[in-house]
Amino acid sequence: MTKMMKALNEQINKEIYSGYLYLSMVNYFEERSLDGFASWFKAQAQEELYHAMRIYNFIHEVGGKVVLEAIEKPDIEWTSPLQVFQEGLKHEKFITASIHELVQMAEEEKEYAVRDMLQWFIVEQVEEEANFSLHVDQLELGGDTGAALMLMNSKMAARVPLPLSADEQTE
């Protein structure tokens, strides 16, 4: 396996971990009856798995080998909604740095198809960090308790995850 393929496989693991981390954040919000935040993070978890599949499919398209490794256990304890979003932002910055390292490696290894595929992720990570930053700012401004939190919770409910089955589409 080439150095580049190994790094892409590692990125699949990071993207799946991201989904797993965000699913643990869903649990945090569901336990507190904050269904809007939970819905937002469910959609975020699905999006991260989509990111993993983009890389997975690319590896197969170029004749590489996908090697799935164990997924690390995510954190499950936070002190506040603000801390959840701060941790999410920190994680997205980690993912951004990882994508940038892959792009640099692709340039060095003259893996131009990989570099071109990764351009989508560069743009996506700008959006990811901006979303988390906005929510951190809003929670810092309005507070993460009381009326401001409930208003934000209702706004977050607008982002819904994709249905998992045909039955859920009719609910």
Say whether pLDDT at 170 is over 80: no
Please give the model's pTM, rounded to 2 decimal places: 0.92
Residues 6+ apart with CB under 8 A from 3: 105, 109
164 — pLDDT class (breaks 50, 70, 90): confident
Q: Which two tokens stand for residue 138?
A: 């809003």
The residue written with tokens 């693991």 in the block is 13
- What average pLDDT does this structure show over 121-130? 97
Q: Taking the CA atoms of the chain, what radius of gyration do you get in angstroms?
A: 17
Percentage of the chain with pLDDT > 90?
A: 88
Say whether pLDDT at 169 is over 80: no
CATH number of 3-160: 1.20.1260.10
160 — pLDDT class (breaks 50, 70, 90): confident
**Angstrom distance (rounded) from CA 150 to CA 54:** 35
Say whether pLDDT at 100 is over 70: yes
